[in-house]
Structure 1
Amino acid sequence: MDDKKCFLEKLFELFHVYGAKTLTMDDIAKEFSISKKTLYQKYKHKEDLICDVLDFISDEGLDEIEKVREEYDCPIESLLVSGARMDEITCKQKNIFVIQLLKYYPDIFHSHQVSVSVRIIKILREDFEKGIKLGYFREDIPIDLYIKFLITLFFSTDISPIFTEETDKKSLSVAMKLLYLDAIVTDEGKQRLNELKEKYQYNNI
């Protein structure tokens, strides 16, 4: 447990395989070859450990998004290419971690959603303002509502009965971004979006 980053990354993978409820503190101690006493010295409750994992993973994803935003001046392009780590997290098939979080730890799950949403809203709002200055985004839309629609879509796919194991979750993630962008772009923005769809081979999505 000396390397906290490696510990939390490995623990995140274990939660995805076994679930938030199914994976016990005993299992975790055995997996990392440590005593339960040592584990409980770090985390008094399993809930604390779950919160730490969720915060770590979301921070990793949001940090990556910020790096992409620094690399790309165009807010349309930065949205399309950013979030590879976040997509990896949210696009795993049959996400038992999320399912068990909802069932057994709903307060933790919803609190985490709110916390992450606040940060994502800030990013998308800043990119929207930048897009307006570039002439890519419309000014006559309720953007705060549209942003909330997009975030809700991202959070809902893992728990929706409509999307099955056969659903290509990464293509679904791109499709949600395109749906959002189609709703907010100007004619100039639409032209730029079509160019980027061609560039990243998203024309069939």
Structure 2
Amino acid sequence: MKEKIIQKATDLFLKLGFKSVTMDDIANEMAISKKTIYTHFENKTSLVKECTSSILTSITTGIDEICFLEHNPIEELFEIKKFVSHKLENDNSTTHYQLQKYYPEVYESLKETQFDKMMECTRKNLQKGIEMGLYRKNMNVDLVARFYFVGVHGIKDQNLFPIEEFSSKFITQEYLEYHLRGIVTIEGFQTLNNFIKDNQSNE
């Protein structure tokens, strides 16, 4: 039952927002009593924590599987972007904002875990790109990995990027291209252009 509650709550949180969804909403959707939910979760904050942890675990597992396929590093980043976008396709525009505002401790803990995982993955991607001659050799790998992490989080700030002007799909695509264009070699630039064309034709 606990896993079913997490699954349903996660779906609702992503669709409607962490603040907007109440424990009563979850109970009604599942046709169970609110008491049943509290049997497994002390309060809503603990449920939110479990749900966000579940989302992160699912995403990181999928990213690990993509990295295991040994794509070239440029293709790897495009595949990761598509995978994450698909996993969060029901993500409401206010979800990230509500988590940060109303559950700051959960948000900061999640961000810290995400930072560790993303730094590990990005460093490997950058190093592989350098070794294959697709990325510039003279870059500071750790610094660029941190730039990328800050950017990925920064584009979610609706004060900077209002959803009315910049859709999540559009801005994620633009940021990935922005990141790659700053680090590719001439050979990498040709590979990047090919993936941009392929990505546009498949949309």
Compute the TM-score of the two structures, normalised by the length of structure 1. Answer: 0.85
Superposition map of 1:9-20 within 5 A: 9-20=7-18
Superposition map of 1:1-205 within 5 A: 1=1, 4=3, 7-88=5-86, 95-161=93-159, 162-201=161-200
Q: CA deviation at 1:52?
A: 1.0
**Counterparts of 2:138 and 2:48 in 1: how far apart (Å)?**
41
Q: CA deviation at 1:84?
A: 2.7
**Counterparts of 1:29 and 1:90 in 2: how far apart (Å)?**
23
1:93–1:165 contact (8 Å) kept in structure 2: no
SS in 2 for 1:160: coil
Q: Aligned letter for 1:15?
A: F
Deviates more, 1:139-148 or 1:124-133: 139-148
1:60–1:85 contact (8 Å) kept in structure 2: no
What residue ranges of structure 2 are gaps of 5+ in the alignment?
none
SS in 2 for 1:176: helix
What residue ranges of structure 1 are gaps of 5+ in the alignment?
none
SS in 2 for 1:83: helix
**Counterparts of 2:88 and 2:178 in 1: how far apart (Å)?**
18
**Counterparts of 2:140 and 2:90 in 1: how far apart (Å)?**
32
Q: CA deviation at 1:184?
A: 1.3
Q: Deviations over 1:107-148 (max 9, x none)?
A: 211211111121011011111111121111122112222222
**Counterparts of 2:21 and 2:35 in 1: how far apart (Å)?**
17
Q: CA deviation at 1:13?
A: 2.4
* Total equivalences in the alignment: 200
Q: Deviations over 1:85-121 (max 9, x none)?
A: 4224667675222222222111211211111121011
Deviates more, 1:112-121 or 1:88-97: 88-97
2:17–2:98 contact (8 Å) kept in structure 1: yes
SS in 1 for 2:125: helix
1:61–1:83 contact (8 Å) kept in structure 2: no
Q: Aligned letter for 1:75?
A: P
**Counterparts of 2:140 and 2:169 in 1: how far apart (Å)?**
27
Q: CA deviation at 1:51?
A: 0.9
Compute the TM-score of the two structures, normalised by the length of structure 2. Answer: 0.86
